[in-house]
């Protein structure tokens, strides 16, 4: 082995030894640093954040998506098929009960309107003459009764035929929808228009068997439309489940004096099923459980104290405390996963 080769081997050994010593030094430093962090926690306490408990309002709500409609609403359909001659109202118009909204062609053979009108007018004239004769004693009561009966039948038949070609508003309200135009030929039963009373709105929310037990008549309901909140209440609750929906319904009504709420709009309906104006509430994620029950950690005399609690109700996000905590106590809201009962803590801002 030459001198140069021996020198190279010596140099390599020195380098490898130095590298090993450097690695051992770094590992030692990491262990010292880790140990130092643990020592800091033991000596100074686990850093935590706390929040002071105070009474505040607590509300539990059930939320549903449902479609609004007028407190009274009806859609009229075509009794016979045929051509629409005239429409006497527009969407948004106020109409009165029995006002003619849509007129069909009176010559429509399906209605027999003209024949019924002629029969009625003839019977009316005959009835008038017969009534005068009876009053003058120039005809018998039997003759008068027969004419009166025919007049009554012809009048009713004409009114029926008239209702087929002159479609009337079923009650006073607003025209909220017209689905046809003048000149259209429509089929029997085709939807023509919708009338609604919009000074008060209603909707049905469908609820489960568990939820229906939480609802009562008069409970407050809240919805929001165009940034404005509207308050209503439950006016009716079903006593049996719908066989098709397999659910119960609750009817909710909202005052709408300015008619700002619109028929046919689907909105979120929130029903208040529980309310406590003075409650101790905490975020639900702070509550942990073990074989003894539910608990949280509070800060007490520089240490974490494990405190078992009971809830009165919960909203899914917040947990109402019925026992176990008091106003003014400081609950640990950050760092609770690092502590146990009696752990030294350091409260940080």
The predicted-structure confidence for 248-260, as pLDDT tens digits, reads as follows: 999 999 999 999 9
Residue 154, pLDDT score: 92
Domain boundaries, the chain: 46-58+277-347, 62-70+197-275, 75-192
- Alpha carbons 9 and 14: distance in angstroms, whole number: 9
Q: The pTM is what?
A: 0.65
Using a 10 angstrom Cβ sphere, with 0-12 exposed, 13-18 middle and 19 or more buried, the burial of residue 120 is buried
For the chain, residues with pLDDT lower than 70 are 1-43
pLDDT score, position 25: 54
For domain 62-70+197-275, which CATH number applies: 2.40.30.170, 3.30.43.10, 3.40.50.970, 3.90.550.10? 2.40.30.170
pLDDT tens across 276-298, in order? 999 999 998 999 999 999 999 99
Taking a C-beta distance cutoff of 8 angstroms, is the pair 104, 195 a contact?
no
For residue 169, what is the DSSP state?
A: P
CATH class entry, domain 46-58+277-347: mainly beta
User: What's the confidence (pLDDT) of residue 314?
Assistant: 80
Report the sign of the C-alpha dihedral through residues 207, 210, 216, 222, in that order.
negative
- Give me the pLDDT at residue 17, please: 58
Note the CATH architecture for domain 75-192: Beta Barrel (2.40)
What DSSP string runs through 191-205? EEEEEEEEEEEEEEE
Paired with 178 in beta bridges are 193
Residue 23 pLDDT = 54
Give me the pLDDT at residue 134, please: 87
Alpha-carbon distance 34 to 309, whole Å? 36
């Amino acid at each position: 082995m030459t001198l140069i080769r021996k020198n190279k081997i010596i140099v390599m050994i020195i380098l490898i030894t130095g590298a090993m010593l450097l690695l051992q030094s770094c590992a030692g430093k990491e262990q010292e640093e880790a140990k130092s962090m643990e020592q800091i926690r033991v000596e100074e306490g686990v850093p935590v954040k706390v929040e002071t408990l105070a009474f505040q309002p607590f509300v539990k709500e059930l939320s549903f998506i449902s479609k609004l409609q007028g407190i009274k609403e009806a859609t009229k359909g075509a009794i016979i098929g045929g051509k629409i001659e005239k429409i006497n109202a527009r969407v948004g118009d106020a109409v009165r009960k029995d006002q003619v909204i849509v007129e069909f062609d009176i010559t429509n053979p399906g209605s027999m309107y003209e024949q019924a009108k002629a029969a009625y007018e003839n019977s009316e004239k005959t009835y008038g003459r017969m009534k005068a004769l009876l009053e003058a004693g120039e005809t018998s009561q039997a003759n008068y009764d027969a004419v009166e009966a025919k007049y009554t039948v012809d009048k009713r038949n004409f009114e029926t035929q008239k209702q087929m070609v002159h479609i009337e508003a079923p009650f006073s309200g607003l025209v909220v929808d017209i689905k046809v135009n003048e000149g259209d030929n429509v089929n029997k039963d085709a939807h023509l228009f919708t009338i609604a009373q919009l000074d008060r709105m209603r909707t049905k929310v469908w609820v489960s068997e568990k939820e229906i037990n939480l609802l009562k008549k008069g409970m407050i309901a809240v919805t929001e439309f165009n940034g404005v909140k509207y308050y209503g209440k439950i006016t009716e609750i079903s006593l049996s489940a719908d066989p098709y929906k397999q659910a119960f319904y609750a009817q909710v009504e909202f005052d709408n004096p300015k008619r700002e709420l619109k028929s046919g709009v689907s909105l979120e309906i929130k029903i208040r099923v529980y309310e406590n104006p003075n409650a101790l509430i905490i975020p639900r994620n702070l509550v942990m459980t073990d074989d003894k029950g539910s608990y949280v950690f509070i800060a007490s005399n520089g240490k974490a104290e494990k405190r078992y609690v009971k809830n009165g109700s919960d909203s899914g996000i917040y947990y109402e405390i019925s026992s176990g905590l008091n106003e003014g106590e400081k609950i640990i809201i950050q760092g609770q996963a690092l502590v146990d009962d009696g752990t030294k803590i350091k409260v940080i801002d």
